[in-house]
Amino acid sequence: MASITLNNATVDIPIYNASTRSLKTTIIKAATGGIIASDNKGRVIIRALDSINLSLRSGDRVGIIGHNGAGKSTMLRLLSRIYTPTSGTAEIIGSIGTLLDIGIGIDPESTGMENIQLRGTLLGISDEEIKAHTEEIIEFSDLGDFIHMPLRTYSTGMQLRLAFAISTMVRPDILIMDEWMSVGDEGFKHKAKERMNAMVGSSKILIVATHSAELIQTQCNKVIWLEHGKIKMEGSPEDIAPLYFNSGL
Ligand SMILES: Nc1ncnc2c1ncn2[C@@H]1O[C@H](COP(=O)(O)OP(=O)(O)OP(=O)(O)O)[C@@H](O)[C@H]1O
């Protein structure tokens, strides 16, 4: 079973080096971004998500759309448990896998082998699971003996191959992605697509933030349209996508 329940979930990001005084003149709301405000202690905050109510169940394949700064990445971070709500609640049941910033946690001075361990640990994967997948990651990334060399000796494409192979080693209940990942040269792209499809196919809930109408039409059965940190509309791709993509945003 996998489920996500957000109840009036709000995410405020405190900004420590901004002054509230200069904001008093900013009456007109910016066209993009969350709401700039001050909290009850007078500190400047950005309300990136504002009172979100959401209920997702197994079988939901959700596309999150919205203009720049609407709150999509913040939503992905909240659903990945990177952020906790400032107020309201987020109940997330099921194992979570993310394909966000796949290069994070990759150390250029460490070897490929060491990076499998480092990045795997950062993704919350147990030592046993990392060990069980190591051979398969080496084979999939096609790095041969380079796996024993420091990452700074890899080309960008080689680094991406390894990062991708590590990030896709597990099959989570809830898969959270920032756009569709396309990595490597033509040969690798094909393999990577198959592996992505397998990961997406076995996930119970898929959440992808995207600016692509095609991705929404082909992969999603639900769309959430965010604007200034709030849900503006929620519904089927057939209903929501034309409204959003034809709105000139
Ligand atoms: N680390 C941060 N510090 C301060 N403000 C932030 C931070 N991250 C996001 N914000 C603010 O939160 C709001 C939502 O940002 P978010 O990155 O979630 O938007 P987005 O919809 O993913 O945008 P984009 O399509 O441009 O990536 C914006 O107003 C942004 O200024």
Give the model confidence (pLDDT) of 107-137 as tens digits. 889 999 999 999 888 888 899 999 999 999 9
Ligand 1 pocket residues where CB is under 6 Å: 13, 15, 33-34, 46, 48, 66, 68-74
pLDDT of residue 32: 66
Most informative mutation of 10, 11, 13 for ligand 1 (most atoms within 8 A of CB):
13
Ligand 1 atom at minimal distance to the Cα of residue 67: 25
Nearest to 69 by CA among 98, 46, 89: 46
Q: Does one domain contain both 89 and 155?
A: no
Residues 79 and 105 in one domain: no
Residue having the nearest C-alpha atom to atom 2 of ligand 1:
13
Check whether residue 108 and residue 85 sit in a common domain: no
User: Is residue 112 domain-shared with residue 181, that is, in the same domain?
Assistant: yes
Q: Are residues 161 and 182 in the same domain?
A: yes
Shortest CA distance to 182 belongs to which of 171, 170, 173, 191? 191
Cα dihedral 78, 83, 85, 89 sign: positive
User: Highest mean pLDDT: which of 8-22, 76-90, 91-105, 166-180?
Assistant: 76-90
Bridge-based pairing state of the strands 87-93 and 222-227 = unpaired
Are 36 and 26 within 8 A, CB to CB? yes
User: Residue 27's pLDDT is what?
Assistant: 43
Q: Would you state the structure tokens that stand for residue 169, as one six-digit string? A: 């080693």
Say whether both 53 and 107 belong to one domain: no
Count the domains in the chain. Answer: 2
Indicate whether 154 and 220 sit together in one domain: no
SS3 state of residue 181: coil
In terms of domains, do 103 and 193 share one?
Answer: yes
Q: By 3-state DSSP, what share of the chain in percent is helix, strand and coil, each rounded to 5?
A: 35, 30, 35
Are residues 28 and 64 located together in one domain of the fold? yes
- What's the domain range around 86? 3-94+208-245
**Cβ-proximal residues to 97 (8 Å cutoff; 6+ apart), any chain:** 123, 170, 171, 172, 174, 175, 176, 199, 203
Instruction: Indicate if ipTM > 0.85.
Output: yes
Three-state secondary structure call for residue 57: strand
Q: Are residues 113 and 236 both part of a single domain?
A: no
For ligand 1, what atom is nearest to the CA of residue 75?
18
79 Cα–ligand 1 center, Å: 15
Q: How far is the CA of 223 from the centre of ligand 1 (A)?
A: 19
pLDDT (average), residues 205-225: 93
Report residue 28's pLDDT band, with 50, 70 and 90 as the boundaries.
Answer: very low
Considering the domain architecture, whether residues 199 and 214 belong to the same structural domain is answered as no
Residues 186 and 239 in one domain: no
d(CA 121, CA 103): 14
Question: Could you tell me the CATH number of the domain that includes residue 163?
Answer: 3.40.50.300
Kindly provide the residue ranges of all beta strands, DSSP E only, lying in 138-184, ordered along the sequence.
174-178
Q: How many CB atoms lie within 10 A of CB 67?
A: 18
Rounded to the nearest 10 degrees, the angle between the axes of helix 127-141 and helix 156-167 is: 140
